[in-house]
Chains A and B, each alone.
Chain A
């Protein structure tokens, strides 16, 4: 009985405040309500209705963070810290519906207002965790990989279209490649005009690329910008 009355008062409080002037009090209301609720939840069993207010996207666990950073470092190496500590504010990664989103803290605060099932996307999606907890990077991360990429591959104009359709890059289409690229190194693919087209994995080292015959694959395709049209549905 006591619990029920507590919960009712809390509910009324939530509704009243929200109804009266959500504009005046602003986002601070939501955080205070949340803290209110969380106090209840520590002491007593949590009423299910309020869960929808609490549960938002969550920070990545250590495991997940490790997996993801490993993948990222394949492409950008130690520049990952540049992603987190940016001059214009702190940015963070959050997990929502198995997808990793990269956003600034300002947006993070606001995104907590939305209920889990209604929130579709926050900031930039970097990729998703598969059912077997592997991290798959999406093309949407390209904007952040491209400036910090360690190893780059430039592709001839004729091969652009082929790569954008999802094919691997053959030796005949290779324009330039960074020196000292290791085999199976993550690379970012550019067009000759320095427009990033996608990323992939180097199939051969730079040395080997020079020697090998024109029809062999030099870069395995992983993601390309053509996916914005081909796989629009998988982005969310």
Chain B
């Protein structure tokens, strides 16, 4: 409740010493006010000198005052012109000096800039000044992203730079120009620093994303892309083949994210062994030991992610007692997709080191039987170790080549095939993949995977009451190893794709470059390190709806049981010739008509090939057909033949062919080859005599 400052208000003064001293705010103020009204006070000599100096105009004021053009733009322009020009020139020189240090790219830019006369540049800058006044802050942001050749914008960038402090060493990206031939050569000799390359990559991608607006005149997109590929290979140390493949798969905006994600490790994850403990208890026990962890995510009830730990996670007493297993998050997915039921008969074709097998066992609660197979005997030791450690009792471990499996044992309810692959999804774990993989590796892996998936399909029992499923997965992101293999399986066997049950993840490709896959391929799932924070992975779930193995094209002519037996018996040897001929790149022209080869050559789909082959076969007739078939020893024609006589001869031809190709084929061919040969020889003789 202070007094209001009202001079007219005379406050009564109370008793006491203080009241007399303090006269009140109004009176205090009056003192100040009256001071000013009194005339100028008398100054000392020094003061007088000072005042005199202040009033004098300064000669050096112009060059002493810092540039405050933006604020003073309203004032006389002419004055500023010379100032600006001068300062700008200076700063440009400075910039250019900086750029010289950076290298060839900037030299190009300088050359571009020097196209205009300084005075012209200054005039343009002036024009921009007024515009940039209000947009100052926006320009600053845009400047980093803005790559263009436009001179005007170039100048405004310079303005902004000058406005910013001089020592910001940011690259001048206003003109992202492809380096000419000289610069490229120079770069070959003197390695550019990585920072420059990184910046160039970013800017190149910016240009490519808005190509029509930001492109340089006369430069093709291909040139930008080739520069990008080169830079990416240098910066991230990949070989050219892999970079090309990755550019095909990922849109440019994701490409750098993917490559960056491959440089860092994915977080360590563990899976609780529900046969021995619960996730809650395990988490508690580990926290007591000093491990910092969290549940993996909503999608998993048994996963835990480890952030850091004071004890080695792979050697705690809980680990040794089998309470958990170190497993990548992406490895949970195929088993979740497979969803094994209790009491089923399961096959895990490539089970080492046993993480998925043990997960299956814990989901089945140790009921049923699991057959854990792996082709590599050394790695099987880890499977056995893990099985015993985790307390799994319903497993048989064996050491077969996965492709032999239908012969050894069949009739499984569910099969899991984690196919051996090129490993392009787990580059973070194994950086050697970056430089060691090339076309041949991918093709070899794809071929193996195709054989294995067919064997896996043949091992599934379609009439199983609770199953009939196959889950195919790889830790690779290459389309040749993923969608292509599944598409191949769809064509070759009576299977169909079903939803995996995984609600996250990117859908598989239904088309890629020149290939077209079955539309149901979008039910498969792809996972990437940069978008899901787990290793690159591909999962597809197939259901087998019939145990009958289809003969090569869609038509199945089974005239009599014998003939059917023959065809079925011949299937496996024939499949193999077709496969081997497929893989051998030296395919004669006629052979290319066959369905199987169409895929190897990467040409169009099945239908075309079928029509071709059908057309060919229809032309000769009768016994001539058999002779033609014999002569065209290379082609696979047996099951397509309509007459039983013709059937035997082409199959015989195929047997011969099979014999020729025996070395290339798998071992399993040899035994069936010998015995049916007798049978058919006998039959042939019967027919002809």
Contact = CB atoms under 8 A, between A and B. Distances in A.
Interface in A95-152: 102-104, 106-107, 110-111, 113-115, 118-125, 139-140, 143
A123 B394 contact: yes
B407 interface: yes
Nearest to B377: A120
A19 B568 contact: yes
B388 A114 contact: no
B398 interface: yes
Interface residues of B, number: 51
Given A20-B568, A233-B381, A225 B410 contact: no
A20 B400 CA distance: 21
Contact of B407 (A18, A27, A122): A18
A22 B410 contact: yes
Contacts of A193: 285
A125 B389 CA distance: 11
Given A120-B398, A226-B320, A23 B393 contact: no
Given A22-B407, A23-B406, A107-B369, A118 B400 contact: yes
A213 B396 CA distance: 48
B410 A121 contact: no
Interface string B405-418: 01111110000000
Contact of B672 (A15, A104, A195): A15
A160 interface: yes
A27 to B, nearest CB: 7
Residue from A23, A26, A103 whose CB has the most chain B CB atoms within 10 Å: A23
Given A15-B672, A20-B569, A195-B317, A121 B394 contact: no
A235 B385 contact: yes
A45 interface: no
A197 interface: yes
Nearest to B459: A23
Given A164-B320, A197-B317, A197-B321, A121 B407 contact: no
Contact of B565 (A20, A30, A191): A20
Nearest to A103: B393
A22 B406 contact: yes
Interface in B345-393: 345, 369, 371, 377, 380-385, 387-389, 391, 393
B399 interface: yes
Interface in A187-236: 191, 193, 195-197, 225-226, 228-229, 232-233, 235-236
Interface string A1-42: 000000000011001101111111011001000000000000
B573 to A, nearest CB: 10
B480 interface: no
A186 B23 CA distance: 104
Given A118-B400, A120-B397, A22 B568 contact: no
Contact of A24 (B385, B389, B547): B547
B43 interface: no
A70 B17 CA distance: 113
B315 A225 contact: no
B396 A195 contact: no
B397 A122 contact: yes
B364 to A, nearest CB: 13
B396 A119 contact: yes
A124 B399 contact: no
Contacts of B398: 114, 118-120
Contacts of B671: 15
Contacts of A18: 407
B394 A191 contact: no
A22 B398 CA distance: 19
B397 A121 contact: yes
B396 A110 contact: yes
A229 B320 contact: yes
B566 to A, nearest CB: 11
B320 A114 contact: no
A122 B396 contact: yes
Nearest to A101: B396
Contacts of A118: 398-400, 408
A30 to B, nearest CB: 8
B171 interface: no
Residue from A19, A103, A124, A229 whose CB has the most chain B CB atoms within 10 Å: A19
Given A120-B399, A143-B391, A235-B388, A19 B672 contact: yes
A197 B569 CA distance: 54
B572 A225 contact: no
Residue from A20, A196, A236 whose CB has the most chain B CB atoms within 10 Å: A236
Contact of A22 (B387, B411, B672, B679): B411
Contact of B388 (A103, A115, A119, A228): A228
Contacts of B410: 22-23, 26
B487 interface: no
Contacts of B547: 21, 23-24
Contact of A225 (B314, B321, B382, B384): B321
A235 B321 contact: no
Contacts of B440: none
A123 B393 contact: yes
A106 B369 contact: yes
A212 B458 CA distance: 66
A193 B387 CA distance: 23
Given A15-B671, A22-B407, A236-B381, A225 B391 contact: no
B675 interface: yes
A121 B396 contact: yes
B679 to A, nearest CB: 8
29 contacts: A12-B675, A12-B678, A15-B671, A18-B407, A20-B569, A22-B406, A23-B406, A23-B411, A23-B458, A23-B461, A23-B462, A26-B410, A27-B409, A107-B394, A110-B371, A113-B408, A114-B396, A115-B408, A119-B397, A119-B399, A122-B396, A122-B397, A123-B395, A196-B321, A197-B320, A228-B320, A232-B382, A235-B385, A236-B381
Interface of B: 285, 314-315, 317-318, 320-322, 345, 369, 371, 377, 380-385, 387-389, 391, 393-400, 406-411, 458-462, 547, 565, 568-569, 572, 671-672, 675, 678-679
Given A196-B321, A225-B317, A228-B389, 13 more contacts: A20-B568, A20-B569, A22-B409, A113-B408, A113-B409, A121-B387, A122-B397, A139-B388, A228-B320, A228-B388, A232-B381, A232-B385, A233-B381
10 shortest interchain CB distances as A-B pairs:
A225-B320, A140-B388, A22-B410, A121-B397, A23-B410, A120-B397, A113-B409, A26-B411, A236-B384, A232-B385
